[in-house]
Structure 1
Amino acid sequence: MNRKKGIVLVLIGAIFWGIGGTVSKKLFQQYAIDVDWLVTTRLLIAGVLLLSVQYFTKDRSQIFGVWKTRRIAVPLIIFGLLGMLGVQYTYMASIEHGNAAVATLLQYLAPVMIIIYLLLRKQSVLTRADMLTVSLALFGSFFLLTNGSLSQLSVPPLAITWGILSGVALAFYTLYAIPLLKQFDSLVIVGWAMIIGGFALSFIHPPWRVDMSSFTLETYFYLIFVIIFGTMIAFWFYIESLQSLAPKESSLLGSVEPLAAVLTTVFWLKEPFGFYQWLGTLFIMMMIVMLALNKGKSSDNLEAK
């Protein structure tokens, strides 16, 4: 029963995250929502909600326990600024300038970046599986972004730049979080990281500085979906799934996220997607599945370092 519950949670969480990116694109396009304001607002609200879940369901002493020593507080601040804020902002910026499908798929190049990083640090050796993974990622990105032709990119260069930066930020987020998650619950680390990132971005775009006079009922509905389902529940359900599933299984099931982003972008927002872009999508999905199948060994190696 617990295993079935875990499978359902990770699938719902991944689908919500993928759909949330597409809904964000609609907010940018149709309702002229500012990307800075959306990232600030979603981080602050989702972070408070995650800490609230920790307070009512788990060890509430951990919520402020993370701030008692500098050894934990400083890395947590760095994680919140460079990891959480970095991932959220670059991802949303890529969506704003391009579309949710390309942004999500580029973000999933992060595992390849992690492989390259570990090779450069001599903490890993290059295997056949790594070579195939990198090849799938490179060919997938080529077809996705060019639609098979170098003469014209299928998305603006700025969207590609933000998407690649999103992958870098996600790689950092993944590697840097490991020591923190060994000492405190995931809800505490992720919740505070969201609040830190949202607070920092508030100095650039305060969440209260927004003209809501043009907001319709539909606007509020989409905003609530992005904040509650696309951010808070997406993170929470994925974290909870790890209580009954192995990380390898959760990651494999989580690969439905880019698929959800692609399908909703194409069929709901009516974004054009050519044959070679579908081929590129297939290559990147194959890469994600391969990495998920080998994640158990990778995770053990990372934790041992």
Structure 2
Amino acid sequence: MGDRKKGITLVLIATTFWGMMGINSRTLSLAGLSAMDIAFIRCSIAGVLFTIYMLIRKPEELKQKLSGILVGCLYGVVCFVLGFMTYNVSVERVPISVATVLMFTNPIWVSIFGAVVFKDKMTKKKVLVICMCIVGCICISDVMSTGGANLDVIGIAAGLINGMTFAMQIIIPRFFEGKYSKDAILVYGFISSTVVLSFFTDFSNIAAAVTGPNSMVVIANMLAISVLSTFIASTFYVKSTEYIETQVTSILVSLEPILGSIFAFFIFGETMSQTQLLGAAIVILAACILETDLSKITEKIMLPFSSKQIK
């Protein structure tokens, strides 16, 4: 298998596992687990796996100064505790497809935070993408057709906050570029988030779900959301960037909301209104535009015409 095919395969596997995440979260929620319980399970299992991975592959990077460990703790609380919890709340209260699309707004938040915090240039393309995202989110909330009657404000807000915390996974490391190992920050982030979440987790609730009549289904979904959707998906996504351009990976990841909607339809019978479908399409298109070099595409399109003029 060529490097490019290998990279595309890795990112497609990661995208599929991320698309399944809403199903796993909803199933665990229906089994009686709270958003905190699910977040703890996800952080603890994935954290153990990442730690083992680092001990085998990069043990020297785990030796960090206290400041590096504290950065990892901050990363874990913001990105994992708040991020995983808000995702679970969103999945509980709004359709999985809607929660997945709202999480997918993260590239737009990266642009906004980058402009505000790091003074990144706010180009016309970025402004267009942000406007498209706002319109898309309004359509997804379906507030126009119902007059706000069926709008779950908490579910929508949780989904948007989840998108922001997802963006913070990129923004926070930028503050410490070159100072600390990103992999080490990830490991200490999982460890700290597991400790913090343990204070809000109902362990008797988890024990009851694991030993209940549907124990096999519960355990399977626990492992799926922790191992497949968190550890393997993240590892494969990062690995794919070694073989293909980051723009290609970002565009392929845009399949995630589509896969999430398909899984939700077949397993829970969830559907989206025409307005919500339009909103989802706008958000996905906005993310693709943001990650695509439009000037190069235009250049390739115009190349045959310019060649004719030269002749």
Tell me the TM-score range normalised by the shorter chain.
Answer: 0.7 to 0.9
- C-alpha displacement of 1:71: 3.0
CA contact (8 A) 2:69 2:185 kept: no
Partner-residue secondary structure (3-state), 1:243? coil
Aligned to 2:235: 236
Aligned to 2:52: 52
Aligned to 1:18: 19
Distance 1:202 1:117, change over 3 A: same
Aligned to 1:130: 126
Alignment partner of 1:188 is 2:215: no
1:2 alignment partner AA: D
Distance 1:255 1:267, change over 3 A: same
The whole-number CA distance in structure 2 between the counterparts of 1:180 and 1:118 is 14
Q: 1:231-265 CA deviation, whole Å, 9 max, x = no partner?
A: 21111111211222232222222222222112212
1:14 alignment partner AA: T
CA contact (8 A) 1:146 1:153 kept: no
CA contact (8 A) 1:40 1:206 kept: no
- Pick aligned residue for 2:93 from 91, 97, 103: 97
Alignment map for 1:49-128 (pairs within 5 Å): 49-56=49-56, 58-63=57-62, 65-66=63-64, 69-121=65-117, 123-128=119-124
Structure 1: gaps of 5 or more residues? 296-305
Partner-residue secondary structure (3-state), 1:268? helix
2:13 alignment partner AA: I
1:4 alignment partner AA: K
CA contact (8 A) 2:69 2:188 kept: no
TM-score by length of 1: 0.86
1:120 alignment partner AA: V
Distance 1:142 1:219, change over 3 A: same
The whole-number CA distance in structure 2 between the counterparts of 1:55 and 1:3 is 29
CA contact (8 A) 1:22 1:99 kept: no
The whole-number CA distance in structure 2 between the counterparts of 1:263 and 1:208 is 34
TM-score by length of 2: 0.85
Distance 1:70 1:129, change over 3 A: same
Alignment map for 1:135-150 (pairs within 5 Å): 135-146=131-142, 148-150=144-146
- C-alpha displacement of 1:129: 0.9
The whole-number CA distance in structure 2 between the counterparts of 1:161 and 1:147 is 13
Aligned to 1:272: 271
The whole-number CA distance in structure 1 between the counterparts of 2:47 and 2:268 is 29
CA contact (8 A) 1:181 1:189 kept: no
The whole-number CA distance in structure 1 between the counterparts of 2:35 and 2:61 is 32
CA contact (8 A) 2:21 2:225 kept: yes
CA contact (8 A) 2:240 2:249 kept: yes
Alignment partner of 1:204 is 2:200: yes
The structure with the larger Rg is 2
Report the RMSD for the aligned CA atoms in angstroms: 2.3
The whole-number CA distance in structure 2 between the counterparts of 1:274 and 1:14 is 24
The whole-number CA distance in structure 2 between the counterparts of 1:78 and 1:287 is 30
Aligned to 2:28: 27
Aligned to 1:298: none
- C-alpha displacement of 1:19: 0.8
CA contact (8 A) 2:76 2:193 kept: yes
CA contact (8 A) 2:24 2:225 kept: yes
CA contact (8 A) 1:41 1:207 kept: no
CA contact (8 A) 2:136 2:282 kept: yes
Aligned to 2:304: none
Distance 1:48 1:17, change over 3 A: same
The whole-number CA distance in structure 1 between the counterparts of 2:149 and 2:13 is 33
CA contact (8 A) 1:21 1:230 kept: no
Structure having the larger proportion of residues in helix: 2
The whole-number CA distance in structure 2 between the counterparts of 1:189 and 1:122 is 20
1:213 alignment partner AA: T
Distance 1:182 1:230, change over 3 A: same
Percentage of pairs with the same residue: 21
Q: 1:250-289 CA deviation, whole Å, 9 max, x = no partner?
A: 2222222222112212232111311111111110110111
- C-alpha displacement of 1:50: 1.5
The whole-number CA distance in structure 2 between the counterparts of 1:293 and 1:25 is 33
Aligned to 1:151: 147
Alignment partner of 1:262 is 2:273: no
CA contact (8 A) 2:72 2:187 kept: no
- C-alpha displacement of 1:116: 2.5
Structure 2: gaps of 5 or more residues? 295-311
Partner-residue secondary structure (3-state), 2:268? coil
Aligned to 1:42: 42
Deviates more, 1:154-163 or 1:270-279: 154-163
CA contact (8 A) 2:113 2:171 kept: no
